[in-house]
Structures are given as structure tokens and as C-alpha cells.
């Protein structure tokens, strides 16, 4: 294995070679040794292979980041931990349904944004699944008799369907359905980015507008192709097919290195709740100052390891780390340090008493109202209050 790795300039180039090799053998197997390969899709196959290389390079660099690498190792260790099997399964299923299928996280930011993101996301997933399935020959339709088709997946016969049935129409128009979903979502997103002044302040053309234009160009040319061969007897079909192919190639080249890269890595986010979920009295981290649980043991350990690897260990004089304390205590420690107060004076939950007599609030802690004498004042007010008769 070491000699094989040394025959490449880098691990990334080795991974890219292996990915292309796997794609080639998957085509060879799925198409019965290239007997059923569709030569009309050869251009898409070559551009898809280049897309796979770009995606491999991008994912490799992303995984070599210290934070990502640490989280990935933690997730792999937890995934195969038998003691965590039940809670891992529950976390993965819940995250898969909420964040991937229903995408609740984006609906929480508004119905409009939720619909636009849902349309783009699922439209892309449907379109990519069908496009790559047909391009690499992983899926094809064999005619059994004049009225029946059979779906072949990885050269294995699966279900049959009536050639003119409802299911067949949905399957045939799967790409059009995905394109319409992307068209609606990308149109909504582009309209929002053009008309919403709050969004225009922070957006960048190359990062926010360009991917929408690329998606719209692919979907519009693809839908025009359908209109041409369905209603116009194939008029100008060849030229439009060439234009559509160019737009698809541009999108595949842009995809791994632009904003759309978050689409393939988003499912990996399901590992984060799995690794860092808090179970009370099992792995809940307690603050070293107030003793209140505030995080997960694994999460704090990973934070400290990542900061240390980047020379930001933030270790304190007593050997503890700043991340060993909850948010409220960290704020309090920071304020005390800035005021040259080594330790809190008086009630630890009360306001900070400074040397100049200025009082600061309790930093997310329970306030000690007696510090202000509010109870005494309220009692005196009640005593002095005239009794109404």
C-alpha cells in the first residue's frame, strides 16, 4: 500500500485515481461490459468523471482541516461504539428526517426561505441521481414486450412497469420534475437576493448570484429541450442539446469549488448531533466554577484538542482551560481579569463589585437582589404607604 501511495504526487491524486477507477468499473459492470452503454451520453460521462475528481480534491482538503478531521474521527469512533448503538441510531434517524428530508432548520428562518431551499435541494438531488444513474449506466430501461419496460439497476433486473402507465410517466419525466423544482427554488432565491435590501448588503455576486444563474441556465435549457421534442417535433433540438450540455459541464466544473459544494457534505452533518448529543448523568460536562452542566464531554475534549493544535490552547494559571467553564463563568472571569480582580468578592452569584464602586451585572447567573437592597426598600415602601380607607 505504501509503494502504491508513493507512486502518486499526493494522497489527493491517489484518491482521485481510485475514484475514477471505481467509476470506470461500475460502468463496465452495470452496462454488461459496455454492451448497453449510451454513446449519446459520453460527453456527460467524461464531464461527470472530471466532476468526481474535483469533488474528491475538495473533500480531501476539507477533511484535512484540523477541526473537520477531529470531528470526523470522533464520529467514526462513536458510530462503531456498541454502547452508543441505541442513541446513535435515534440521533441519526432524527437528524436525517429533520435536517435532510424535511429541512426544518431552514424553515425556522421563514416559510419563503424554507420553500426555496427545499425546492433547490430536492430538485438537485433528483436531477443528479437520475443524470449520474443514466450517464454511468447504473440504471437503464429494457423493453420486455411492446407494453412493458423493466428497470435494470447495476445490471440486475428489478421492477417492471407499463410503458404508458402513470408510474412510467413519472419515471420518464423525473429529470423534468427535478428541473421544475430547481427552477422554482432558484427563481425565488434570485428574486429575494435582488429585492431584499438586507440580503444585498452582505451578498457577493460570485458566491451568491452566480450559482443561481448556473442552476437556472441548466434547468431552463433542459426544459426547453423537452418542449422542443414534445411539441415542436424536435425543431432545433440538436443545437439546444449542445447548449444544454455546455451548461451542465460548466455547472459540474463549478460545483466542487463553489457554494454548491455544501450539497454533498450536508448529509455528513448528521454525525454532529450523534457525537455531541448530551445525555444527562452520562457524558454531560459540568462547569468547573459553578458546577452546572453546560456541554458534552466529547465536544469540550475536541474543542481543546483543536485549539491546542492551532496554538490557541487558552490554558489558565491553575492548569484548567477556558473551555472548562460555562459561558456565564467565562464572561465573569474575563471581566474580573480585565479589572485586575483575581477572585470574585462577596456573593459569587451577585454583581461584580469593582474597586471604584461601579457594579456590573451577574453575567447570566442568578442575580442576588439583596445586593441592591430591593427587598428592604420594598418593605419600607409598604410601611410608609398610606392605608386607603
| Phi (first) and psi of residue 311, to 5 degrees | 60, 35
> Does 359 or 187 have the greater pLDDT score?
187
The region of weakest confidence among 84-88, 335-339, 376-380 is: 376-380
Q: What average pLDDT does the segment 106-117 reach?
A: 91
pLDDT value, residue 353 = 60
* Other beta carbons less than 10 A from residue 195's beta carbon: 9
Whole-number pLDDT of residue 388 = 43
Q: Is the pLDDT of residue 261 over 50?
A: yes
Over residues 317-335, the pLDDT tens digits come to 888 888 898 888 888 888 7
Question: What SS3 state is found at 149?
Answer: strand
Q: What is the pLDDT of residue 389?
A: 40
Q: What's the Cα-to-Cα distance from 275 to each of 99, 124, 246, 279, rounded to whole Å?
A: 16, 28, 42, 11
The pLDDT tens digits of the residues spanning 200-246 come to: 888 888 888 999 999 999 999 999 998 988 888 878 888 888 999 89
Helices (H) and strands (E) in the chain, counts: 17, 7
* pTM of the predicted model as reported, rounded to 2 decimal places: 0.76
pLDDT at residue 93, as a whole number: 86
In order of 45, 138, 143, the CA distances from 160 in angstroms are: 26, 17, 9
Question: Contact 42/244 with Cβ under 8 angstroms?
Answer: no
pLDDT at 271 over 60: yes
Query: What is residue 377's predicted lDDT score, i.e. its pLDDT?
Result: 54
Task: Say how far apart CA 303 and CA 323 lie, in whole Å.
Answer: 8
State the pLDDT at residue 387. 45
Mean pLDDT for 245-252 is 90
| pLDDT, position 15 | 93
pLDDT-based confidence at 185, cuts 50/70/90?
very high
Higher pLDDT pick, 359 / 195: 195
For residues 289-308, give the mean pLDDT. 85
Instruction: Please provide the DSSP assignment of 152-209 as one string.
Output: EETTEEEEEEETTSHHHHHHHTHHHHHHHHHHHHHHHHHHHHHH-HHHHHH--IIIII
- Per-residue pLDDT band for 344 (boundaries 50, 70, 90) equals low
Average pLDDT for 105-123: 91
Amino acid at each position: 500500500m505504501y509503494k502504491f501511495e508513493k507512486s502518486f504526487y499526493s494522497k489527493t491524486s491517489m484518491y482521485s485515481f481510485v475514484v475514477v477507477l471505481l467509476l470506470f468499473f461500475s460502468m463496465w459492470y452495470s452496462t454488461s461490459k459496455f454492451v448497453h452503454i449510451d454513446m449519446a451520453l459520453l460527453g456527460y460521462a467524461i464531464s461527470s468523471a472530471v466532476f468526481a475528481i474535483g469533488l474528491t480534491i475538495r473533500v480531501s482538503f476539507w477533511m484535512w482541516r484540523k477541526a473537520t478531521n477531529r470531528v470526523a474521527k470522533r464520529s467514526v469512533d462513536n458510530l462503531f461504539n456498541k454502547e452508543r448503538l441505541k442513541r446513535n441510531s435515534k440521533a441519526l434517524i432524527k437528524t436525517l428526517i429533520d435536517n435532510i428530508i424535511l429541512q426544518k432548520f431552514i424553515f425556522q428562518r421563514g416559510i419563503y426561505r424554507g420553500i426555496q431551499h427545499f425546492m433547490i435541494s430536492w430538485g438537485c438531488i433528483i436531477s443528479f441521481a437520475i443524470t449520474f444513474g443514466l450517464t454511468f449506466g447504473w440504471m437503464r430501461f429494457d423493453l420486455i414486450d411492446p407494453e412493458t419496460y423493466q428497470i435494470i439497476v447495476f445490471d440486475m433486473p428489478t421492477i417492471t412497469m407499463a410503458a404508458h402507465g402513470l408510474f412510467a410517466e413519472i419515471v420518464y419525466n423525473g429529470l423534468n420534475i427535478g428541473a421544475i423544482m430547481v427552477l422554482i427554488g432558484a427563481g425565488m432565491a434570485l428574486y429575494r437576493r435582488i429585492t431584499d435590501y438586507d440580503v444585498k448588503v452582505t451578498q457577493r455576486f460570485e458566491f451568491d448570484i452566480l450559482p443561481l444563474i448556473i442552476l437556472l441556465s441548466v434547468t431552463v435549457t433542459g426544459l426547453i429541450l423537452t418542449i422542443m421534442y414534445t411539441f415542436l417535433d424536435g425543431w432545433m433540438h440538436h443545437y439546444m442539446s449542445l447548449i444544454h450540455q455546455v451548461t451542465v459541464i460548466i455547472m459540474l466544473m463549478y460545483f466542487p469549488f463553489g457554494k454548491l459544494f455544501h450539497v454533498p457534505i450536508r448529509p455528513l452533518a448528521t454525525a454532529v448531533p450523534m457525537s455531541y448529543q448530551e445525555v444527562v448523568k452520562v457524558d454531560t460536562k459540568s462547569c468547573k466554577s459553578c458546577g452546572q452542566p453546560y456541554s458534552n464531554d466529547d465536544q469540550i475534549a475536541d474543542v481543546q484538542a483543536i485549539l491546542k493544535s492551532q496554538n490557541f490552547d487558552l490554558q489558565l494559571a491553575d492548569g484548567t482551560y477556558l473551555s472548562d467553564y460555562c459561558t456565564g463563568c467565562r464572561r465573569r472571569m474575563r471581566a474580573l481579569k480585565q479589572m485586575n480582580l483575581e477572585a470574585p468578592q462577596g456573593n459569587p452569584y451577585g454583581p461584580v463589585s469593582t474597586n471604584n464602586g461601579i457594579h456590573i451585572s451577574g453575567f447570566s447567573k442568578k442575580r442576588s437582589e439583596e445586593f441592591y437592597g430591593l427587598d428592604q426598600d420594598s418593605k419600607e415602601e409598604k410601611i410608609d404607604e398610606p392605608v386607603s380607607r
